[in-house]
Chain A
Amino acid sequence: MSTTLRIGRSRILLELRQFFRDRESALFNFLLPVILLVIFGSVFANSEIGFEDVTFTQYFLAGMIASGILYTSFQNLAIAIPMEREDGTLKRLAGLPMPKASYFIGKVGMVFVAYIAQVILILVVGVLFFRIQLPTSPTHWFTFAWVSVLGLLSCTFIGIAYSVVPKQGKGASALVAPVVLVLQFTSGVFFIFTDLPEWMQAFASLFPLKWLTQAMRSVFLPDGAQVIEASGSWQLGWCAVALGIWTVGGFLIALRVFRWAPRGQL
Protein backbone atom coordinates (compact mmCIF):
# COMPACT_ATOMS: atom_id res chain seq x y z
CA MET A 1 0.00 0.00 0.00
CA SER A 2 1.40 3.37 -0.95
CA THR A 3 2.36 5.89 1.71
CA THR A 4 -0.30 8.30 0.45
CA LEU A 5 -3.09 5.77 1.03
CA ARG A 6 -1.69 4.48 4.31
CA ILE A 7 -1.45 7.99 5.77
CA GLY A 8 -4.79 8.87 4.17
CA ARG A 9 -6.45 6.00 6.01
CA SER A 10 -4.87 7.06 9.27
CA ARG A 11 -6.14 10.59 8.65
CA ILE A 12 -9.71 9.33 8.00
CA LEU A 13 -9.76 7.76 11.46
CA LEU A 14 -8.34 10.91 13.02
CA GLU A 15 -10.81 13.16 11.20
CA LEU A 16 -13.75 10.98 12.29
CA ARG A 17 -12.64 11.10 15.92
CA GLN A 18 -12.44 14.87 15.77
CA PHE A 19 -15.74 15.16 13.86
CA PHE A 20 -17.73 13.24 16.46
CA ARG A 21 -15.94 14.59 19.52
CA ASP A 22 -16.48 18.21 18.56
CA ARG A 23 -19.95 18.81 20.01
CA GLU A 24 -20.85 21.66 17.66
CA SER A 25 -19.87 19.63 14.61
CA ALA A 26 -21.67 16.51 15.80
CA LEU A 27 -24.85 18.47 16.44
CA PHE A 28 -24.77 20.83 13.50
CA ASN A 29 -23.49 18.49 10.78
CA PHE A 30 -24.56 15.07 11.98
CA LEU A 31 -27.68 15.17 14.16
CA LEU A 32 -29.51 18.14 12.61
CA PRO A 33 -31.34 16.19 9.85
CA VAL A 34 -32.67 13.69 12.40
CA ILE A 35 -33.79 16.50 14.70
CA LEU A 36 -35.53 18.26 11.81
CA LEU A 37 -37.14 14.99 10.69
CA VAL A 38 -38.56 14.46 14.16
CA ILE A 39 -39.92 18.03 14.30
CA PHE A 40 -41.39 18.14 10.78
CA GLY A 41 -42.57 14.56 10.95
CA SER A 42 -44.46 15.33 14.19
CA VAL A 43 -45.89 18.68 13.10
CA PHE A 44 -47.01 17.49 9.67
CA ALA A 45 -47.93 13.98 10.77
CA ASN A 46 -51.21 14.01 8.83
CA SER A 47 -50.19 16.02 5.75
CA GLU A 48 -50.09 14.44 2.34
CA ILE A 49 -48.49 15.65 -0.85
CA GLY A 50 -51.48 15.02 -3.11
CA PHE A 51 -50.40 11.82 -4.76
CA GLU A 52 -52.14 8.66 -3.57
CA ASP A 53 -51.54 8.58 0.19
CA VAL A 54 -47.86 9.61 0.24
CA THR A 55 -47.16 11.56 3.43
CA PHE A 56 -45.30 14.86 3.59
CA THR A 57 -42.87 13.14 5.97
CA GLN A 58 -41.92 10.72 3.19
CA TYR A 59 -41.32 13.72 0.88
CA PHE A 60 -39.43 15.53 3.65
CA LEU A 61 -37.25 12.48 4.33
CA ALA A 62 -35.82 12.69 0.81
CA GLY A 63 -34.99 16.35 1.45
CA MET A 64 -33.35 15.54 4.79
CA ILE A 65 -31.12 12.86 3.27
CA ALA A 66 -30.12 15.30 0.51
CA SER A 67 -29.52 17.97 3.18
CA GLY A 68 -27.43 15.45 5.09
CA ILE A 69 -25.13 15.27 2.08
CA LEU A 70 -24.76 19.05 2.20
CA TYR A 71 -24.23 19.09 5.99
CA THR A 72 -21.62 16.36 6.24
CA SER A 73 -19.60 17.61 3.27
CA PHE A 74 -20.07 21.29 2.38
CA GLN A 75 -21.14 22.72 5.73
CA ASN A 76 -18.74 20.54 7.70
CA LEU A 77 -15.65 21.34 5.64
CA ALA A 78 -16.40 25.00 4.91
CA ILE A 79 -16.51 25.59 8.68
CA ALA A 80 -13.81 23.16 9.86
CA ILE A 81 -11.07 24.03 7.38
CA PRO A 82 -10.92 27.79 8.22
CA MET A 83 -10.60 26.73 11.87
CA GLU A 84 -7.77 24.38 10.96
CA ARG A 85 -6.10 27.18 9.05
CA GLU A 86 -6.35 29.42 12.08
CA ASP A 87 -5.45 27.07 14.93
CA GLY A 88 -2.24 25.77 13.35
CA THR A 89 -3.49 22.37 12.11
CA LEU A 90 -2.71 23.09 8.47
CA LYS A 91 0.63 24.68 9.24
CA ARG A 92 1.64 21.67 11.28
CA LEU A 93 0.57 19.30 8.49
CA ALA A 94 2.45 21.32 5.87
CA GLY A 95 5.60 20.80 7.94
CA LEU A 96 5.21 17.02 8.03
CA PRO A 97 6.38 14.43 5.50
CA MET A 98 2.72 14.01 4.55
CA PRO A 99 1.69 13.71 0.89
CA LYS A 100 -0.79 16.55 0.38
CA ALA A 101 -3.27 14.11 -1.19
CA SER A 102 -3.48 12.22 2.13
CA TYR A 103 -5.08 15.25 3.77
CA PHE A 104 -7.84 15.31 1.16
CA ILE A 105 -8.29 11.53 1.32
CA GLY A 106 -8.84 12.03 5.05
CA LYS A 107 -11.50 14.67 4.43
CA VAL A 108 -13.35 12.70 1.73
CA GLY A 109 -13.22 9.50 3.80
CA MET A 110 -14.55 11.27 6.88
CA VAL A 111 -17.41 12.79 4.87
CA PHE A 112 -18.42 9.41 3.40
CA VAL A 113 -18.36 7.54 6.72
CA ALA A 114 -20.20 10.32 8.56
CA TYR A 115 -22.86 10.42 5.83
CA ILE A 116 -23.41 6.66 5.82
CA ALA A 117 -23.86 6.68 9.60
CA GLN A 118 -26.21 9.65 9.30
CA VAL A 119 -28.39 8.02 6.63
CA ILE A 120 -28.72 4.85 8.68
CA LEU A 121 -29.79 6.94 11.67
CA ILE A 122 -32.33 8.93 9.61
CA LEU A 123 -33.83 5.77 8.10
CA VAL A 124 -34.03 3.92 11.42
CA VAL A 125 -35.78 6.87 13.10
CA GLY A 126 -38.01 7.33 10.05
CA VAL A 127 -39.08 3.68 9.90
CA LEU A 128 -39.54 3.27 13.65
CA PHE A 129 -41.43 6.49 14.40
CA PHE A 130 -42.80 7.93 11.15
CA ARG A 131 -43.93 4.91 9.11
CA ILE A 132 -41.41 5.69 6.36
CA GLN A 133 -41.56 3.25 3.43
CA LEU A 134 -38.17 2.03 2.24
CA PRO A 135 -37.66 1.24 -1.44
CA THR A 136 -37.48 -2.46 -2.19
CA SER A 137 -36.10 -2.62 -5.73
CA PRO A 138 -32.31 -2.77 -6.28
CA THR A 139 -32.66 -0.10 -9.00
CA HIS A 140 -33.75 2.41 -6.39
CA TRP A 141 -30.86 1.56 -4.10
CA PHE A 142 -28.49 1.81 -7.03
CA THR A 143 -29.81 5.32 -7.77
CA PHE A 144 -29.44 6.13 -4.08
CA ALA A 145 -25.78 5.01 -4.19
CA TRP A 146 -24.64 6.94 -7.25
CA VAL A 147 -26.55 10.07 -6.30
CA SER A 148 -24.98 9.95 -2.83
CA VAL A 149 -21.47 9.48 -4.22
CA LEU A 150 -21.77 12.29 -6.77
CA GLY A 151 -23.46 14.54 -4.22
CA LEU A 152 -20.83 13.93 -1.57
CA LEU A 153 -17.94 14.43 -3.98
CA SER A 154 -19.31 17.65 -5.50
CA CYS A 155 -20.24 19.18 -2.13
CA THR A 156 -16.92 18.11 -0.58
CA PHE A 157 -14.96 19.89 -3.31
CA ILE A 158 -17.19 22.97 -3.09
CA GLY A 159 -16.73 22.95 0.69
CA ILE A 160 -12.93 22.78 0.34
CA ALA A 161 -13.05 25.65 -2.16
CA TYR A 162 -15.47 27.70 -0.02
CA SER A 163 -13.11 27.33 2.96
CA VAL A 164 -11.09 30.26 1.62
CA VAL A 165 -14.11 32.60 1.98
CA PRO A 166 -14.22 32.98 5.79
CA LYS A 167 -11.30 35.14 6.87
CA GLN A 168 -11.33 33.70 10.37
CA GLY A 169 -12.26 30.38 11.88
CA LYS A 170 -14.53 32.03 14.42
CA GLY A 171 -17.05 33.54 12.03
CA ALA A 172 -17.01 30.72 9.51
CA SER A 173 -20.35 29.18 10.49
CA ALA A 174 -22.10 32.54 10.01
CA LEU A 175 -20.86 32.62 6.42
CA VAL A 176 -21.76 29.01 5.70
CA ALA A 177 -25.07 28.27 7.45
CA PRO A 178 -27.07 30.96 5.54
CA VAL A 179 -25.91 29.52 2.21
CA VAL A 180 -27.16 26.09 3.28
CA LEU A 181 -30.45 27.51 4.58
CA VAL A 182 -31.19 29.48 1.40
CA LEU A 183 -30.49 26.42 -0.72
CA GLN A 184 -32.74 24.29 1.48
CA PHE A 185 -35.64 26.76 1.27
CA THR A 186 -35.36 27.11 -2.50
CA SER A 187 -34.60 23.49 -3.38
CA GLY A 188 -37.74 21.76 -2.16
CA VAL A 189 -36.47 20.57 1.21
CA PHE A 190 -38.87 22.39 3.55
CA PHE A 191 -41.63 23.01 0.99
CA ILE A 192 -42.99 21.03 -1.94
CA PHE A 193 -40.74 22.15 -4.78
CA THR A 194 -43.58 22.86 -7.24
CA ASP A 195 -45.25 25.17 -4.68
CA LEU A 196 -42.31 27.59 -5.05
CA PRO A 197 -42.36 30.53 -7.52
CA GLU A 198 -40.81 29.66 -10.85
CA TRP A 199 -37.92 32.09 -10.52
CA MET A 200 -37.00 30.38 -7.25
CA GLN A 201 -37.11 26.99 -8.91
CA ALA A 202 -34.88 28.29 -11.68
CA PHE A 203 -32.45 29.73 -9.13
CA ALA A 204 -32.28 26.43 -7.24
CA SER A 205 -31.62 24.51 -10.47
CA LEU A 206 -28.20 26.16 -10.64
CA PHE A 207 -27.05 24.39 -7.47
CA PRO A 208 -26.61 20.73 -6.49
CA LEU A 209 -29.16 20.55 -3.66
CA LYS A 210 -32.21 20.82 -5.92
CA TRP A 211 -30.95 17.91 -8.00
CA LEU A 212 -30.03 15.90 -4.92
CA THR A 213 -33.48 16.27 -3.33
CA GLN A 214 -35.19 15.45 -6.62
CA ALA A 215 -33.08 12.33 -7.15
CA MET A 216 -33.68 11.27 -3.54
CA ARG A 217 -37.43 11.64 -4.11
CA SER A 218 -37.08 9.22 -7.02
CA VAL A 219 -35.66 6.75 -4.50
CA PHE A 220 -38.10 7.25 -1.62
CA LEU A 221 -41.39 8.15 -3.36
CA PRO A 222 -43.45 5.78 -5.54
CA ASP A 223 -42.54 5.96 -9.23
CA GLY A 224 -45.97 7.37 -10.10
CA ALA A 225 -45.31 10.42 -7.92
CA GLN A 226 -43.07 11.94 -10.57
CA VAL A 227 -46.20 13.40 -12.17
CA ILE A 228 -46.12 16.09 -9.47
CA GLU A 229 -42.53 17.10 -10.33
CA ALA A 230 -42.12 20.36 -12.28
CA SER A 231 -41.21 18.48 -15.46
CA GLY A 232 -43.38 15.48 -14.76
CA SER A 233 -40.28 13.32 -14.50
CA TRP A 234 -37.45 12.59 -12.00
CA GLN A 235 -34.93 13.77 -14.63
CA LEU A 236 -32.23 11.42 -13.33
CA GLY A 237 -30.14 12.03 -16.44
CA TRP A 238 -30.11 15.77 -15.78
CA CYS A 239 -29.35 15.11 -12.10
CA ALA A 240 -26.27 13.17 -13.16
CA VAL A 241 -25.21 15.96 -15.53
CA ALA A 242 -25.70 18.76 -12.96
CA LEU A 243 -23.92 16.86 -10.18
CA GLY A 244 -21.17 15.79 -12.60
CA ILE A 245 -20.52 19.40 -13.62
CA TRP A 246 -20.38 20.52 -9.97
CA THR A 247 -18.05 17.63 -9.12
CA VAL A 248 -15.55 18.40 -11.89
CA GLY A 249 -15.88 22.17 -11.51
CA GLY A 250 -15.66 21.98 -7.72
CA PHE A 251 -12.56 19.82 -7.95
CA LEU A 252 -10.80 22.24 -10.31
CA ILE A 253 -11.75 25.29 -8.25
CA ALA A 254 -10.71 23.62 -4.98
CA LEU A 255 -7.37 22.65 -6.50
CA ARG A 256 -6.83 26.25 -7.57
CA VAL A 257 -7.94 28.23 -4.53
CA PHE A 258 -7.13 25.97 -1.55
CA ARG A 259 -4.54 27.46 0.78
CA TRP A 260 -2.63 25.97 3.68
CA ALA A 261 -1.73 29.27 5.33
CA PRO A 262 -3.97 32.07 6.61
CA ARG A 263 -4.34 35.13 4.41
CA GLY A 264 -1.28 37.34 4.33
CA GLN A 265 0.99 34.38 4.95
CA LEU A 266 2.63 32.26 2.35
Chain B
Amino acid sequence: MYAIEVEHLRKVYGDVVAVDDVSFHVASGECLALLGPNGAGKTTTTEILEGYRKADRGTARVLGQDPGSAGLEWRSRLGIVLQSDRDLGDLTVRESVHHFAGYFPDSYDPDKVIERVGLVEKAKSRNAKLSGGQRRRLDVALGIIGRPEVLFLDEPTTGFDPEARHEFWALIEELKADGTTILLTTHYLDEAERLADRVAVIARGRIIACDTPGNIGDRSHARAHVSWEENGHGLSKETTEPTLLVQRLAERFGGEVPSLQVHRPTLEETYLELLKNEGES
Protein backbone atom coordinates (compact mmCIF):
# COMPACT_ATOMS: atom_id res chain seq x y z
CA MET B 1 0.00 0.00 0.00
CA TYR B 2 1.59 3.27 -1.12
CA ALA B 3 0.80 6.57 0.56
CA ILE B 4 2.52 8.54 -2.20
CA GLU B 5 2.91 7.48 -5.85
CA VAL B 6 4.61 9.61 -8.46
CA GLU B 7 4.89 8.55 -12.10
CA HIS B 8 6.79 10.47 -14.79
CA LEU B 9 6.07 13.83 -13.26
CA ARG B 10 7.03 16.88 -15.33
CA LYS B 11 6.72 20.60 -14.66
CA VAL B 12 8.01 23.43 -16.81
CA TYR B 13 8.12 27.15 -15.92
CA GLY B 14 8.45 29.13 -19.13
CA ASP B 15 11.48 27.48 -20.73
CA VAL B 16 12.92 26.19 -17.46
CA VAL B 17 12.33 22.49 -16.85
CA ALA B 18 11.92 22.32 -13.06
CA VAL B 19 10.87 18.68 -12.91
CA ASP B 20 11.82 16.60 -15.93
CA ASP B 21 10.74 13.05 -15.30
CA VAL B 22 10.34 12.04 -11.67
CA SER B 23 8.95 8.73 -10.47
CA PHE B 24 9.02 7.31 -6.95
CA HIS B 25 6.73 5.92 -4.34
CA VAL B 26 6.53 6.04 -0.58
CA ALA B 27 4.99 3.15 1.31
CA SER B 28 2.51 3.77 4.08
CA GLY B 29 4.46 4.51 7.26
CA GLU B 30 7.73 4.98 5.42
CA CYS B 31 10.00 8.02 5.54
CA LEU B 32 11.55 9.04 2.23
CA ALA B 33 14.16 11.80 2.12
CA LEU B 34 14.40 13.84 -1.03
CA LEU B 35 17.97 15.09 -1.47
CA GLY B 36 19.38 17.35 -4.11
CA PRO B 37 21.02 20.69 -4.76
CA ASN B 38 19.00 23.92 -4.81
CA GLY B 39 16.96 24.19 -7.99
CA ALA B 40 17.01 20.42 -8.57
CA GLY B 41 13.21 20.21 -8.43
CA LYS B 42 12.64 19.11 -4.82
CA THR B 43 10.29 21.89 -3.80
CA THR B 44 8.35 21.81 -7.08
CA THR B 45 7.83 18.06 -6.72
CA THR B 46 6.72 18.46 -3.12
CA GLU B 47 4.39 21.34 -3.95
CA ILE B 48 2.71 19.28 -6.67
CA LEU B 49 2.09 16.56 -4.08
CA GLU B 50 0.75 19.15 -1.62
CA GLY B 51 -1.71 20.39 -4.24
CA TYR B 52 -0.11 23.84 -4.60
CA ARG B 53 0.94 23.33 -8.22
CA LYS B 54 -0.32 21.34 -11.13
CA ALA B 55 2.00 19.01 -13.03
CA ASP B 56 2.30 19.42 -16.79
CA ARG B 57 2.57 15.71 -17.31
CA GLY B 58 2.62 12.48 -15.32
CA THR B 59 0.53 11.42 -12.38
CA ALA B 60 0.74 12.05 -8.67
CA ARG B 61 -1.30 10.24 -6.03
CA VAL B 62 -1.28 11.04 -2.33
CA LEU B 63 -3.43 8.77 -0.17
CA GLY B 64 -4.89 7.47 -3.43
CA GLN B 65 -6.08 10.86 -4.67
CA ASP B 66 -4.90 13.41 -7.22
CA PRO B 67 -3.64 16.39 -5.18
CA GLY B 68 -4.80 18.77 -7.93
CA SER B 69 -8.45 17.90 -7.41
CA ALA B 70 -8.72 16.32 -3.95
CA GLY B 71 -11.03 17.93 -1.42
CA LEU B 72 -10.92 19.12 2.17
CA GLU B 73 -11.40 15.64 3.65
CA TRP B 74 -8.14 14.66 1.91
CA ARG B 75 -6.43 17.84 3.18
CA SER B 76 -7.41 16.98 6.75
CA ARG B 77 -5.21 13.86 6.50
CA LEU B 78 -2.10 15.84 5.49
CA GLY B 79 0.40 17.87 7.45
CA ILE B 80 2.51 20.45 5.65
CA VAL B 81 5.60 22.22 6.93
CA LEU B 82 6.64 24.76 4.32
CA GLN B 83 9.97 26.53 4.03
CA SER B 84 10.65 29.69 6.02
CA ASP B 85 7.29 31.01 7.16
CA ARG B 86 7.04 34.45 8.74
CA ASP B 87 3.28 34.60 9.21
CA LEU B 88 1.24 34.74 12.45
CA GLY B 89 3.80 37.06 14.08
CA ASP B 90 1.30 38.88 16.31
CA LEU B 91 -0.11 35.69 17.86
CA THR B 92 1.35 33.64 20.67
CA VAL B 93 2.52 30.06 20.27
CA ARG B 94 -0.37 28.82 22.35
CA GLU B 95 -3.00 30.78 20.43
CA SER B 96 -1.61 29.58 17.11
CA VAL B 97 -1.53 25.89 17.96
CA HIS B 98 -4.99 26.00 19.54
CA HIS B 99 -6.42 27.87 16.55
CA PHE B 100 -4.96 25.45 14.03
CA ALA B 101 -6.28 22.46 15.94
CA GLY B 102 -9.74 23.79 15.09
CA TYR B 103 -9.29 23.11 11.39
CA PHE B 104 -8.99 19.35 11.84
CA PRO B 105 -11.64 16.79 12.75
CA ASP B 106 -9.36 14.72 14.97
CA SER B 107 -6.45 16.88 16.08
CA TYR B 108 -3.93 16.14 18.81
CA ASP B 109 -4.29 17.97 22.13
CA PRO B 110 -2.72 21.39 21.38
CA ASP B 111 -0.98 21.67 24.75
CA LYS B 112 0.58 18.22 24.31
CA VAL B 113 1.85 19.21 20.87
CA ILE B 114 3.43 22.35 22.31
CA GLU B 115 5.12 20.12 24.85
CA ARG B 116 6.22 17.66 22.19
CA VAL B 117 7.99 20.31 20.14
CA GLY B 118 9.58 21.74 23.28
CA LEU B 119 7.93 25.16 23.29
CA VAL B 120 6.20 25.03 26.70
CA GLU B 121 8.35 27.87 28.04
CA LYS B 122 7.59 29.94 24.95
CA ALA B 123 3.85 29.17 24.86
CA LYS B 124 2.90 32.73 25.78
CA SER B 125 5.49 34.45 23.58
CA ARG B 126 4.54 36.25 20.42
CA ASN B 127 5.63 34.22 17.42
CA ALA B 128 7.59 37.16 16.02
CA LYS B 129 9.84 37.01 19.09
CA LEU B 130 10.85 33.35 18.61
CA SER B 131 14.37 32.42 17.52
CA GLY B 132 14.82 30.76 14.13
CA GLY B 133 14.87 27.28 15.61
CA GLN B 134 11.87 27.94 17.88
CA ARG B 135 9.92 29.35 14.95
CA ARG B 136 10.68 26.20 12.96
CA ARG B 137 9.43 24.08 15.86
CA LEU B 138 6.20 26.08 15.86
CA ASP B 139 5.83 25.37 12.13
CA VAL B 140 6.31 21.69 12.86
CA ALA B 141 3.71 21.88 15.64
CA LEU B 142 1.23 23.45 13.21
CA GLY B 143 2.12 20.77 10.65
CA ILE B 144 1.45 17.83 12.95
CA ILE B 145 -1.48 19.21 15.00
CA GLY B 146 -4.06 17.56 12.72
CA ARG B 147 -2.73 14.02 13.35
CA PRO B 148 -1.59 13.70 9.70
CA GLU B 149 -1.29 10.40 7.89
CA VAL B 150 1.16 11.99 5.48
CA LEU B 151 3.56 14.66 6.64
CA PHE B 152 5.55 16.89 4.28
CA LEU B 153 8.64 18.42 5.84
CA ASP B 154 10.48 20.96 3.71
CA GLU B 155 13.92 21.64 5.22
CA PRO B 156 12.51 21.44 8.73
CA THR B 157 15.72 21.91 10.74
CA THR B 158 17.31 24.86 8.96
CA GLY B 159 18.67 27.17 11.65
CA PHE B 160 18.60 24.58 14.46
CA ASP B 161 21.50 24.17 16.86
CA PRO B 162 22.76 20.56 17.21
CA GLU B 163 20.81 19.94 20.40
CA ALA B 164 17.54 21.19 18.92
CA ARG B 165 18.19 19.09 15.84
CA HIS B 166 18.54 15.92 17.92
CA GLU B 167 15.36 16.73 19.85
CA PHE B 168 13.59 17.29 16.54
CA TRP B 169 14.79 13.97 15.19
CA ALA B 170 13.44 12.22 18.28
CA LEU B 171 10.07 13.88 17.66
CA ILE B 172 10.00 12.72 14.04
CA GLU B 173 10.91 9.21 15.14
CA GLU B 174 7.91 9.23 17.48
CA LEU B 175 5.68 10.25 14.58
CA LYS B 176 7.16 7.45 12.49
CA ALA B 177 6.45 5.02 15.29
CA ASP B 178 2.83 6.20 15.18
CA GLY B 179 2.75 5.16 11.51
CA THR B 180 2.99 8.60 9.89
CA THR B 181 4.25 8.60 6.31
CA ILE B 182 6.87 11.30 5.86
CA LEU B 183 8.32 13.00 2.81
CA LEU B 184 11.37 14.88 4.04
CA THR B 185 13.28 17.44 2.00
CA THR B 186 16.63 18.31 3.51
CA HIS B 187 20.18 19.49 2.86
CA TYR B 188 21.51 17.66 5.89
CA LEU B 189 22.78 14.21 5.01
CA ASP B 190 23.08 13.14 8.64
CA GLU B 191 19.41 14.01 9.05
CA ALA B 192 18.45 11.87 6.07
CA GLU B 193 20.59 9.01 7.33
CA ARG B 194 19.02 9.15 10.77
CA LEU B 195 15.37 9.55 9.77
CA ALA B 196 14.84 8.16 6.29
CA ASP B 197 14.06 4.57 5.40
CA ARG B 198 15.08 5.42 1.86
CA VAL B 199 16.67 8.41 0.19
CA ALA B 200 16.06 9.66 -3.33
CA VAL B 201 18.66 11.92 -4.94
CA ILE B 202 17.21 14.39 -7.40
CA ALA B 203 19.31 16.40 -9.83
CA ARG B 204 18.24 18.51 -12.78
CA GLY B 205 14.65 17.38 -12.43
CA ARG B 206 15.37 13.65 -12.39
CA ILE B 207 15.83 11.00 -9.70
CA ILE B 208 19.38 9.76 -10.17
CA ALA B 209 19.42 7.28 -7.29
CA CYS B 210 16.93 5.89 -4.82
CA ASP B 211 17.77 3.34 -2.14
CA THR B 212 18.22 2.88 1.59
CA PRO B 213 20.77 5.26 3.13
CA GLY B 214 23.15 2.30 3.58
CA ASN B 215 22.95 1.05 0.01
CA ILE B 216 22.56 4.16 -2.07
CA GLY B 217 25.15 4.66 -4.79
CA ASP B 218 26.44 1.13 -4.12
CA ARG B 219 27.72 2.48 -0.85
CA SER B 220 27.73 -0.94 0.84
CA HIS B 221 29.94 -2.37 -1.89
CA ALA B 222 32.21 0.62 -2.23
CA ARG B 223 35.90 0.22 -1.55
CA ALA B 224 36.74 0.67 2.09
CA HIS B 225 39.69 2.66 3.30
CA VAL B 226 41.63 0.73 6.01
CA SER B 227 44.38 2.54 7.93
CA TRP B 228 46.65 1.48 10.77
CA GLU B 229 50.05 2.19 12.31
CA GLU B 230 53.11 0.03 11.80
CA ASN B 231 56.69 0.73 12.95
CA GLY B 232 55.76 4.32 13.67
CA HIS B 233 54.37 4.90 10.18
CA GLY B 234 50.74 5.44 9.19
CA LEU B 235 49.77 2.92 6.53
CA SER B 236 46.56 2.55 4.56
CA LYS B 237 44.97 0.47 1.85
CA GLU B 238 41.87 0.63 -0.35
CA THR B 239 40.12 -2.72 -0.50
CA THR B 240 36.86 -4.38 -1.43
CA GLU B 241 37.48 -6.98 1.31
CA PRO B 242 38.17 -4.97 4.45
CA THR B 243 37.21 -7.80 6.81
CA LEU B 244 39.82 -10.10 5.30
CA LEU B 245 42.47 -7.40 5.49
CA VAL B 246 41.72 -6.66 9.15
CA GLN B 247 41.84 -10.36 9.95
CA ARG B 248 45.30 -10.65 8.34
CA LEU B 249 46.53 -7.58 10.16
CA ALA B 250 45.27 -8.98 13.45
CA GLU B 251 47.21 -12.20 12.83
CA ARG B 252 50.34 -10.25 11.93
CA PHE B 253 50.14 -8.13 15.09
CA GLY B 254 49.02 -11.07 17.19
CA GLY B 255 46.00 -9.15 18.50
CA GLU B 256 45.20 -5.43 18.50
CA VAL B 257 46.05 -3.45 15.37
CA PRO B 258 47.41 -0.02 16.41
CA SER B 259 45.20 2.98 15.35
CA LEU B 260 42.97 0.75 13.23
CA GLN B 261 40.29 2.56 11.20
CA VAL B 262 37.94 1.15 8.58
CA HIS B 263 36.22 3.92 6.66
CA ARG B 264 33.41 3.47 4.18
CA PRO B 265 32.13 6.47 2.20
CA THR B 266 29.66 8.47 4.27
CA LEU B 267 26.25 9.27 2.85
CA GLU B 268 27.53 12.77 2.20
CA GLU B 269 30.54 11.51 0.21
CA THR B 270 28.32 9.11 -1.72
CA TYR B 271 25.84 11.87 -2.41
CA LEU B 272 28.50 14.26 -3.69
CA GLU B 273 29.97 11.46 -5.82
CA LEU B 274 26.54 10.78 -7.33
CA LEU B 275 26.07 14.45 -8.18
CA LYS B 276 29.60 14.65 -9.64
CA ASN B 277 29.00 11.64 -11.88
CA GLU B 278 25.66 13.09 -12.92
CA GLY B 279 27.33 16.39 -13.81
CA GLU B 280 29.93 14.58 -15.94
CA SER B 281 27.47 12.42 -17.82
Chain A residues in the interface with B (C-beta under 8 A): 6-7, 10, 14, 17-18, 21-22, 84, 87-89, 91-92, 94-99, 261, 265-266
Q: Is the interface of B mostly helix, strand, loop or mixed?
A: loop
A44 to B70, CA, bound (A): 61
Query: Any chain A CB within 8 A of the CB of B5?
Result: no
Q: Mark B84-104, 1 if CB is under 8 A from A, else 0.
A: 111111110001000110111
Segment among B48-56, B57-65, B189-197 that sits at the interface with chain A: B48-56
**Contact indicator B102/A22 (Cβ below 8 Å):** no
Query: Any chain A CB within 8 A of the CB of B270?
Result: no
Minimal beta-carbon separation of A234 from chain B (angstroms)? 41
**Contact indicator B80/A14 (Cβ below 8 Å):** no
Closest 6 CB pairs of A and B: A97-B76, A97-B75, A89-B87, A21-B90, A88-B85, A97-B72
Tell me which residues across on chain B come within 8 A of A6, comparing CB atoms. Answer: 102
Partner of A95, one of B80, B86, B104, B105: B80
Question: A10 with B91: in contact, given A92-B85, A97-B75, A266-B54 (CB under 8 Å)?
Answer: no
Q: Mark B38-54, 1 if CB is under 8 A from A, else 0.
A: 00000000000011111
Tell me which residues across on chain B come within 8 A of A21, comparing CB atoms. Answer: 90-91
Question: A87 with B86: in contact, given A10-B102, A18-B91 (CB under 8 Å)?
Answer: yes
A94 to B90, CA, bound (A): 20
Given contacts A87-B86, A88-B84, A89-B87, 5 further A-B contacts (CB under 8 A): A18-B90, A84-B87, A87-B85, A91-B82, A96-B75
28 A–B pairs (Cβ distance < 8 Å), ordered by A: A7-B102, A7-B103, A10-B99, A17-B95, A21-B90, A21-B91, A22-B90, A87-B86, A88-B82, A88-B84, A88-B85, A88-B86, A91-B82, A92-B87, A95-B51, A95-B75, A95-B80, A96-B100, A97-B72, A97-B73, A97-B76, A97-B103, A97-B105, A98-B103, A99-B72, A265-B53, A266-B53, A266-B54
List the B residue with the shortest CB-CB distance to A3.
B72
**Contact indicator A97/B102 (Cβ below 8 Å):** no
List the B residue with the shortest CB-CB distance to A98.
B103
List the B residue with the shortest CB-CB distance to A86.
B86
A17 to B90, CA, bound (A): 8
Total interface residues on B, using CB and 8 Å?
Answer: 29
A95 to B87, CA, bound (A): 14
Minimal beta-carbon separation of B190 from chain A (angstroms)? 27
A92 to B84, CA, bound (A): 11
Tell me which residues across on chain B come within 8 A of A10, comparing CB atoms. Answer: 99, 102
Chain A CB within 10 Å, residue with most, of B84, B87, B142: B87
A18 to B185, CA, bound (A): 31
Minimal beta-carbon separation of B150 from chain A (angstroms)? 12
Minimal beta-carbon separation of B142 from chain A (angstroms)? 8
Tell me which residues across on chain B come within 8 A of A87, comparing CB atoms. Answer: 85-87, 89
Question: A92 with B82: in contact, given A17-B90, A87-B87, A97-B104 (CB under 8 Å)?
Answer: yes
Minimal beta-carbon separation of B20 from chain A (angstroms)? 19
Tell me which residues across on chain B come within 8 A of A261, comparing CB atoms. Answer: 52
A17 to B89, CA, bound (A): 11
Question: A14 with B99: in contact, given A95-B52, A97-B73 (CB under 8 Å)?
Answer: yes
Question: A14 with B52: in contact, given A92-B82, A95-B82 (CB under 8 Å)?
Answer: no
List the B residue with the shortest CB-CB distance to A6.
B102
List the A residue with the shortest CB-CB distance to B100.
A96
Tell me which residues across on chain A come within 8 A of B75, comparing CB atoms. Answer: 95-97
Query: Any chain A CB within 8 A of the CB of B146?
Result: yes
Minimal beta-carbon separation of B93 from chain A (angstroms)? 14
A228 to B86, CA, bound (A): 52
A266 to B48, CA, bound (A): 11
**Contact indicator A14/B91 (Cβ below 8 Å):** yes
Minimal beta-carbon separation of A99 from chain B (angstroms)? 7
Minimal beta-carbon separation of A98 from chain B (angstroms)? 6
Tell me which residues across on chain A come within 8 A of B84, comparing CB atoms. Answer: 88
Chain B CB within 10 Å, residue with most, of A21, A22, A96, A99: A96
Tell me which residues across on chain A come within 8 A of B51, comparing CB atoms. Answer: 95
Tell me which residues across on chain B come within 8 A of A92, comparing CB atoms. Answer: 80, 82, 85, 87, 142
Tell me which residues across on chain A come within 8 A of B104, comparing CB atoms. Answer: 97
Question: A89 with B80: in contact, given A14-B99, A97-B75 (CB under 8 Å)?
Answer: no
**Contact indicator A17/B91 (Cβ below 8 Å):** yes
Chain A CB within 10 Å, residue with most, of B80, B88, B103, B142: B103
A18 to B126, CA, bound (A): 11
